[in-house]
Structure formats: C-alpha cells, structure tokens
C-alpha cells in the first residue's frame, strides 16, 4: 500500500500555535489547540474583567453573549434564537437529557459509537427515571443506507423517547447520515439529539437543514475557540421546555438566556470564539479543511503500512473532509478503555507523540488527527518507530 504524496504545508501555520516543538501533537481532536492570537484575545478579556469585575458582569455582558451567539450560529447556519452557548457537548447532552421526559417504561437509544461521557449521562438519567438506555450496534464500514436501516429497525415507537446519534464519532472517526436518521426517527415522533462535538470547523455544516430536535457541537476543537465553547441548537417545539442545569438570574427570561447566564462563569472563551473563526477564515477555511483531510489520510496510510494493516481493513470515512482517521491496532492491544489509556500514555512517554487510542468493539483503534501545525514527517517518524514500540509493549 503506497502512502502517496502528502499535502503541501500551509506557510507559517505552525507559528500560529504555542505547542511544544519537542512533541508531535497528532491529537487535535481531543482538546484542540488554541492559536496564539485567540489566546491573546481571551487574555485581554480576562484583563478587562480584573480592572472592574462588577462593570464587566453587570454592564453589557448579556449583549456581548448574544452577539457572540449570533456570530457562531451564523457560521454553523443554525437559528440564533434557538441556539445557546454552553461549555461543551457533554453539557449540551445533559441539558437535553434533563429536558426529555422519561418514565419507567421508556428508553433512550444510543449507538455503540456514542461518546463515553454522553453514554454515561444517558444511563444515569435513565436510572433515575427507571427507564432504560439501550444501544444499537452500527458496524464500521456500513453504507449510509445500512446505517439508516439499522437505526430504523432499533426504534421502538411509543417507548423510545430520545435517539442520540453522532455526526462524527469520537472513537471510530466514522460519519453518520444524521439528516436521514433524524427523518426516520421523526416519522415516529421520536426526538433526535445529534452529538456533533467534532463538526464545527471541520465540516461545512447547515444545522437547520439537518432537522434534528437538538444539535450540539464544540467550537474549541476544530474552530480554534478557547476550550469551553460549544453551541446547542434546539428546535422550536422544545425551546420553552429547556431548563438550565443551574438556576441563575436570567431564569425568567427563558431559553437561551436562562441556559447561558451562569453567574460568575468564565465567559471569556465564548467572547473570544469569534477571533477563532476569524483566524480560520483568514487562513482560508476551504484550504484548511482540504489540507487537514489530505494530511490525515496520508498519516493513516503511512502508519497502516508500517503496521501491515491490509488496505481492505483500513476504515475510510464517507466524508472526504474528515480530519481524523483511525488505524486498527494489532489484535489483543488496547481492547479495554484502561488498556487504551495506558498505551496512549506509553506512546507519549516513549515517542513524544500525542495521539488518541480508543477501545471499540473489542479492538484497539489508533486515532490520528491532522491540523495545520502538523507536518508529514511527524507521521513518517511515528510510523518508523511505532511497530517496534508495540512489539516491545506486548512482551
């Protein structure tokens, strides 16, 4: 299997970040990396707070949040009146689970690609209500039609009160036809939440056209916002029912103000998020997406070749713009979450490479991200050294 030619670097992109030059950071998908300009914008906001905290929180903060929300919603083509800024996708999922009414005979349906914290939140909510959290298996490599068919067969009209589906799965880097899945669920009046944690900044998305009841995505992964920035979009029929997880002074204003107003929360990540979007646009968003997708594909090919993974066994995303790819690890490695975490740390310690290792379906998956600060030679070096490390690790 030939790795092919990697994409040309985007000139000067590496200098936009303050990452440790002694580490190959191939894991943008977990926590992102904030450009220096965005860091400085956030620090200016923090400095503003400390010059007069009362003035910052009491005079005009609400208007600034509204302005930011509209800016972000416009970027994602979501209805700004039905959107709210939240800390992250997991927070958005908790708000949704808190809103949907569950009783003892009800269930929440998830897929086996669901993010761990979201799945845990669903199980906890179901335990408290006496309901059931059920999982439908969706094989990697399935076509969109097969995925829709499996979800359709798993729905239980009258019992399924919420379907949670990823737009891009964290562990498997697999994309799902969320528009079609939402349509199928709503044929039976089953609300749908789309976990789009990795979508903003990676994919060109039109949230309103998906038709989901709830959609939530992080801006701090691929859209260069400071950590703690996400957008929750809620369909009109649910907005009056949305309740914050913590009641604060904007409670009587209703959604989205009641969700966004959280007392002395650090709002600087949200207010600096438009600077992240400005950075993305200045670089050329189409160029960034094309570079990252091509580099992720290159990294996947070169590391798969080093591990002797057959071309037919290499998962490929349905969306060509995806900036994350996975490589199956040798059988018996990282088959459980603790084993995956231990291997990830071992790779970081021994090779100075930050990557993601996930256990899914009894198999370890090495997940590679690509961002504009990465270079092809980082994947080449990793591919040269990884086989021996894994060989020694198994002994």
Per-residue pLDDT of the chain (395 residues; tens, 9 = 90+): 456 789 999 999 999 999 999 999 999 999 999 999 999 999 999 999 999 999 999 999 999 999 999 999 999 999 999 999 999 999 999 999 999 999 999 999 999 999 999 999 999 999 999 999 999 999 998 999 999 999 999 999 999 999 999 999 999 999 999 999 999 999 999 999 999 999 999 999 999 999 999 999 999 999 999 999 999 999 999 999 999 999 999 999 999 999 999 989 999 999 999 999 999 999 999 999 999 999 999 999 999 999 999 988 898 888 888 999 999 999 999 999 999 999 999 999 999 999 999 999 999 999 999 999 999 999 999 999 999 999 999 86
Are residue 174 and residue 99 in the same domain, yes or no?
A: yes
Which DSSP string corresponds to 26-94? --HHHH----HHHHHHHHHHHHHHHH-HHHHHHSSHHHHHHHHHHHHHHHHT--GGGEEEES-HHHHHH
2 part of a folded domain: no
92 part of a folded domain: yes
pLDDT of residue 41: 98
Task: Write the CATH number for 29.
Answer: 3.90.1150.10
Are residue 159 and residue 244 in the same domain, yes or no?
A: yes
Decide if 299 contacts 370 (C-beta within 8 A): yes
Are residue 373 and residue 227 in the same domain, yes or no?
A: no
The residue among 251, 277, 303 that closes a domain is 277
8 part of a folded domain: no
Task: Write the CATH number for 113.
Answer: 3.40.640.10
pLDDT of residue 312: 84
Are residue 270 and residue 290 in the same domain, yes or no?
A: no
**Which tokens go with 328?**
């199956």
Model confidence, pTM = 0.96
Are residue 112 and residue 191 in the same domain, yes or no?
A: yes
Are residue 52 and residue 20 in the same domain, yes or no?
A: no
Are residue 197 and residue 235 in the same domain, yes or no?
A: yes
Number of domains into which the chain is organized = 2
Are residue 216 and residue 352 in the same domain, yes or no?
A: no
pLDDT of residue 3: 61
**Which tokens go with 332?**
């018996």
pLDDT of residue 316: 84
6 part of a folded domain: no
| Burial state string for 381-394 with b = 16 or more CB within 10 A and e = fewer than 16 | ebbebbeebbeeee
For 12, 288, 347, the CA distances from 383, given in Å and listed in that order, are: 25, 24, 12
Domain that holds residue 336: 13-33+284-394
Decide if 231 contacts 85 (C-beta within 8 A): yes
5 part of a folded domain: no
Are residue 119 and residue 253 in the same domain, yes or no?
A: yes
Are residue 233 and residue 163 in the same domain, yes or no?
A: yes
245 part of a folded domain: yes
The residue among 233, 250, 277 that closes a domain is 277
The residue among 277, 294, 319 that closes a domain is 277
**Which tokens go with 321?**
């713009």
The length of the chain, given as a count of residues:
395
**CA–CA separation, 28 vs 33, rounded Å?**
6
Are residue 220 and residue 260 in the same domain, yes or no?
A: yes
Are residue 368 and residue 231 in the same domain, yes or no?
A: no
**CA–CA separation, 121 vs 1, rounded Å?**
41
Decide if 280 contacts 274 (C-beta within 8 A): no
For 117, 185, 371, the CA distances from 197, given in Å and listed in that order, are: 12, 21, 16
């Amino acid at each position: 299997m030939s790795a092919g030619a990697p994409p040309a670097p985007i000139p000067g992109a590496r200098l936009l970040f303050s990452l440790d030059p002694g580490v190959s950071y191939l894991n943008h998908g977990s926590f992102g990396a904030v450009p220096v300009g965005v860091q400085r914008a956030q620090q200016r906001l923090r400095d503003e707070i400390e010059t007069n905290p009362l003035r910052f929180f009491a005079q005009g903060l609400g208007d600034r949040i509204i302005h930011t929300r509209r800016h972000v919603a416009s970027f994602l083509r979501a209805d700004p009146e039905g959107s709210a800024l939240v800390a992250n996708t997991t927070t958005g999922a908790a708000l949704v689970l808190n809103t949907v009414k569950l009783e003892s005979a009800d269930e929440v349906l998830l897929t086996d690609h669901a993010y761990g914290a979201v799945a845990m939140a669903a199980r906890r909510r179901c335990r408290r209500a006496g309901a059931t959290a059920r999982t439908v298996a969706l094989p990697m490599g399935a076509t969109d039609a097969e995925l829709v068919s499996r979800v359709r067969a798993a729905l239980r009209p009258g019992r399924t009160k919420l379907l949670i589906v990823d737009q891009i799965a964290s562990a498997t880097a697999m994309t799902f036809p969320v528009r079609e899945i939402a349509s199928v669920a709503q044929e039976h009046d089953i609300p749908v939440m789309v976990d789009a944690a990795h979508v903003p900044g990676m994919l060109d998305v039109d949230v309103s056209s998906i038709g989901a009841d709830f959609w939530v995505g992080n801006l701090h992964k691929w859209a260069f916002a400071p950590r703690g920035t996400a957008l929750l979009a809620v369909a009109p029929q649910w907005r009056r029912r949305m309740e914050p997880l913590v009641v604060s002074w904007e409670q009587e204003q209703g959604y989205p103000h009641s969700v966004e107003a959280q007392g002395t929360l650090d709002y600087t990540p949200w207010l600096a998020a438009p600077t992240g979007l400005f950075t993305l646009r200045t670089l050329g968003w189409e160029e960034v997406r094309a570079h990252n997708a091509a580099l992720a594909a290159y990294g996947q090919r070169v590391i798969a070749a080093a591990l002797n993974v057959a071309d037919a066994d290499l998962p490929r995303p349905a969306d060509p713009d995806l900036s994350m790819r996975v490589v199956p690890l040798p059988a018996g490695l990282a088959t459980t979450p603790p084993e995956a975490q231990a291997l990830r740390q071992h790779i970081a310690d021994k090779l100075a490479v930050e990557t993601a290792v996930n256990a899914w379906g009894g198999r370890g998956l090495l997940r590679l991200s690509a961002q504009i600060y990465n270079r092809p030679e980082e994947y080449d070096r990793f591919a040269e050294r990884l086989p021996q490390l894994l060989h020694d690790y198994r002994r």
